[in-house]
Amino acid sequence: MSKQVDKINTQINNLYNSILLLSRNKLFYTTFDLIDTFQNRIHLVFIHISFIFIKSKNSKDHKIYKNFHQKVFDLIFNNIETNMREIGYGDTVINKNMKSLTKTFYNILLDCEKYRSMTKTDKTIFFNKYLKLNDIKNIINNAEIIEYFNKYEAFCFDLSHDSVLQGELKFNYK
Protein backbone atom coordinates (compact mmCIF):
# COMPACT_ATOMS: atom_id res chain seq x y z
CA MET A 1 0.00 0.00 0.00
CA SER A 2 2.81 2.41 0.89
CA LYS A 3 4.48 1.86 -2.49
CA GLN A 4 1.21 2.71 -4.26
CA VAL A 5 0.83 5.93 -2.23
CA ASP A 6 4.45 6.88 -2.97
CA LYS A 7 3.88 6.23 -6.68
CA ILE A 8 0.76 8.42 -6.73
CA ASN A 9 2.56 11.20 -4.84
CA THR A 10 5.44 11.03 -7.31
CA GLN A 11 3.02 11.25 -10.23
CA ILE A 12 1.24 14.23 -8.66
CA ASN A 13 4.55 15.98 -8.08
CA ASN A 14 5.61 15.24 -11.66
CA LEU A 15 2.43 16.76 -13.05
CA TYR A 16 2.72 19.79 -10.76
CA ASN A 17 6.36 20.32 -11.71
CA SER A 18 5.53 20.01 -15.41
CA ILE A 19 2.80 22.64 -15.04
CA LEU A 20 5.22 24.91 -13.17
CA LEU A 21 7.81 24.59 -15.94
CA LEU A 22 5.22 25.48 -18.56
CA SER A 23 3.96 28.43 -16.53
CA ARG A 24 7.44 29.79 -15.84
CA ASN A 25 8.49 29.71 -19.47
CA LYS A 26 10.39 32.93 -20.18
CA LEU A 27 8.42 33.20 -23.42
CA PHE A 28 5.53 34.63 -21.39
CA TYR A 29 7.65 37.48 -20.05
CA THR A 30 9.69 38.21 -23.16
CA THR A 31 7.74 37.47 -26.33
CA PHE A 32 4.24 37.80 -24.82
CA ASP A 33 5.32 40.77 -22.66
CA LEU A 34 3.53 39.66 -19.47
CA ILE A 35 4.48 41.32 -16.22
CA ASP A 36 6.46 38.87 -14.08
CA THR A 37 4.30 38.97 -10.96
CA PHE A 38 3.22 36.41 -8.40
CA GLN A 39 -0.38 36.82 -9.56
CA ASN A 40 0.42 36.32 -13.27
CA ARG A 41 2.45 33.20 -12.47
CA ILE A 42 -0.39 31.76 -10.40
CA HIS A 43 -2.94 32.51 -13.11
CA LEU A 44 -0.72 30.82 -15.70
CA VAL A 45 -0.59 27.72 -13.48
CA PHE A 46 -4.39 27.84 -13.17
CA ILE A 47 -4.92 28.13 -16.92
CA HIS A 48 -2.46 25.35 -17.72
CA ILE A 49 -3.90 22.94 -15.17
CA SER A 50 -7.49 23.77 -16.15
CA PHE A 51 -7.04 22.28 -19.60
CA ILE A 52 -5.65 19.10 -18.03
CA PHE A 53 -8.62 18.86 -15.66
CA ILE A 54 -11.10 19.49 -18.47
CA LYS A 55 -9.47 16.82 -20.64
CA SER A 56 -9.95 14.24 -17.89
CA LYS A 57 -13.45 15.42 -17.07
CA ASN A 58 -14.52 14.90 -20.66
CA SER A 59 -13.22 11.34 -20.60
CA LYS A 60 -15.56 8.43 -20.07
CA ASP A 61 -13.22 7.29 -17.27
CA HIS A 62 -13.12 10.68 -15.52
CA LYS A 63 -14.16 9.19 -12.16
CA ILE A 64 -10.90 7.23 -12.04
CA TYR A 65 -8.93 10.47 -12.18
CA LYS A 66 -11.11 12.50 -9.81
CA ASN A 67 -9.05 11.63 -6.70
CA PHE A 68 -5.80 12.22 -8.57
CA HIS A 69 -6.90 15.68 -9.70
CA GLN A 70 -8.13 16.55 -6.21
CA LYS A 71 -4.65 15.78 -4.91
CA VAL A 72 -3.09 17.92 -7.64
CA PHE A 73 -5.47 20.76 -6.71
CA ASP A 74 -4.54 20.38 -3.03
CA LEU A 75 -0.81 20.37 -3.86
CA ILE A 76 -1.12 23.53 -5.97
CA PHE A 77 -2.96 25.43 -3.26
CA ASN A 78 -0.72 24.14 -0.46
CA ASN A 79 2.33 25.31 -2.41
CA ILE A 80 0.77 28.71 -3.08
CA GLU A 81 0.05 29.07 0.64
CA THR A 82 3.61 28.05 1.51
CA ASN A 83 5.01 30.56 -1.00
CA MET A 84 2.85 33.31 0.45
CA ARG A 85 4.13 32.51 3.94
CA GLU A 86 7.72 32.60 2.65
CA ILE A 87 7.09 36.02 1.15
CA GLY A 88 5.96 37.16 4.60
CA TYR A 89 2.20 37.37 4.41
CA GLY A 90 0.35 36.87 7.67
CA ASP A 91 -2.44 34.38 8.39
CA THR A 92 -5.27 36.87 7.83
CA VAL A 93 -3.94 38.00 4.46
CA ILE A 94 -3.21 34.42 3.40
CA ASN A 95 -6.74 33.24 4.29
CA LYS A 96 -8.28 36.16 2.38
CA ASN A 97 -6.01 35.59 -0.63
CA MET A 98 -6.54 31.82 -0.67
CA LYS A 99 -10.31 32.30 -0.72
CA SER A 100 -9.94 34.76 -3.60
CA LEU A 101 -7.52 32.48 -5.47
CA THR A 102 -9.83 29.49 -5.12
CA LYS A 103 -12.68 31.52 -6.60
CA THR A 104 -10.37 32.74 -9.40
CA PHE A 105 -9.28 29.17 -10.15
CA TYR A 106 -12.87 27.99 -10.53
CA ASN A 107 -13.70 30.99 -12.74
CA ILE A 108 -10.71 30.21 -14.94
CA LEU A 109 -11.73 26.54 -15.05
CA LEU A 110 -15.26 27.49 -16.14
CA ASP A 111 -13.93 29.85 -18.80
CA CYS A 112 -11.51 27.20 -20.06
CA GLU A 113 -14.39 24.74 -20.43
CA LYS A 114 -15.86 27.15 -23.00
CA TYR A 115 -12.48 27.93 -24.59
CA ARG A 116 -13.03 25.98 -27.83
CA SER A 117 -16.25 27.80 -28.57
CA MET A 118 -14.88 31.26 -27.71
CA THR A 119 -14.30 33.80 -30.43
CA LYS A 120 -10.97 35.59 -30.70
CA THR A 121 -12.55 38.59 -28.98
CA ASP A 122 -13.78 36.38 -26.11
CA LYS A 123 -10.31 34.89 -25.73
CA THR A 124 -8.75 38.36 -25.71
CA ILE A 125 -11.13 39.43 -22.95
CA PHE A 126 -10.38 36.22 -21.03
CA PHE A 127 -6.61 36.68 -21.14
CA ASN A 128 -6.81 40.41 -20.43
CA LYS A 129 -8.91 39.62 -17.37
CA TYR A 130 -6.36 37.23 -15.84
CA LEU A 131 -2.96 38.15 -17.31
CA LYS A 132 -1.42 41.59 -17.08
CA LEU A 133 0.85 42.89 -19.84
CA ASN A 134 3.81 45.26 -19.33
CA ASP A 135 2.30 47.70 -21.81
CA ILE A 136 -1.50 47.76 -21.84
CA LYS A 137 -1.44 49.40 -25.27
CA ASN A 138 0.49 46.44 -26.66
CA ILE A 139 -2.52 44.15 -26.98
CA ILE A 140 -1.06 42.70 -30.20
CA ASN A 141 0.92 40.26 -28.04
CA ASN A 142 -2.41 38.93 -26.85
CA ALA A 143 -2.79 37.26 -30.25
CA GLU A 144 0.36 35.27 -29.53
CA ILE A 145 -0.95 34.25 -26.11
CA ILE A 146 -4.14 33.08 -27.77
CA GLU A 147 -2.14 31.09 -30.32
CA TYR A 148 -0.04 29.55 -27.52
CA PHE A 149 -3.10 28.43 -25.56
CA ASN A 150 -4.93 27.25 -28.69
CA LYS A 151 -2.01 24.92 -29.32
CA TYR A 152 -1.72 23.97 -25.65
CA GLU A 153 -5.42 23.12 -25.44
CA ALA A 154 -5.16 20.94 -28.56
CA PHE A 155 -2.05 19.29 -27.08
CA CYS A 156 -3.90 18.53 -23.82
CA PHE A 157 -6.84 16.95 -25.59
CA ASP A 158 -4.45 14.73 -27.57
CA LEU A 159 -2.70 13.48 -24.42
CA SER A 160 -3.35 9.98 -23.22
CA HIS A 161 -4.62 9.66 -19.67
CA ASP A 162 -1.49 7.73 -18.76
CA SER A 163 0.62 10.69 -19.89
CA VAL A 164 -1.37 12.97 -17.62
CA LEU A 165 -1.03 10.59 -14.69
CA GLN A 166 2.71 10.30 -15.27
CA GLY A 167 3.06 14.08 -15.52
CA GLU A 168 4.46 13.80 -19.02
CA LEU A 169 3.57 17.20 -20.43
CA LYS A 170 6.18 17.74 -23.08
CA PHE A 171 4.53 20.70 -24.75
CA ASN A 172 6.79 22.78 -26.96
CA TYR A 173 5.37 25.96 -28.39
CA LYS A 174 6.32 26.66 -32.02
- pLDDT confidence of residue 109: 96
Q: How far apart are CA 78 and CA 149, in angstroms?
A: 26
Report yes or no on 29 lying in a domain. yes
Report yes or no on 174 lying in a domain. no
Kindly tell me if the per-residue pLDDT of 137 is higher than 60. no
Number of Cβ within 10 Å of residue 80's Cβ equals 21
pLDDT (average), residues 136-150: 78
- pLDDT confidence of residue 138: 57
Q: How far apart are CA 140 and CA 145, in angstroms?
A: 9
- The answer, as to whether pTM is greater than 0.75, is yes
Q: How many domains does the chain fold into?
A: 1
Give the domain extent around 140: 2-166
Report yes or no on 55 lying in a domain. yes
63 vs 118, which has greater pLDDT? 118
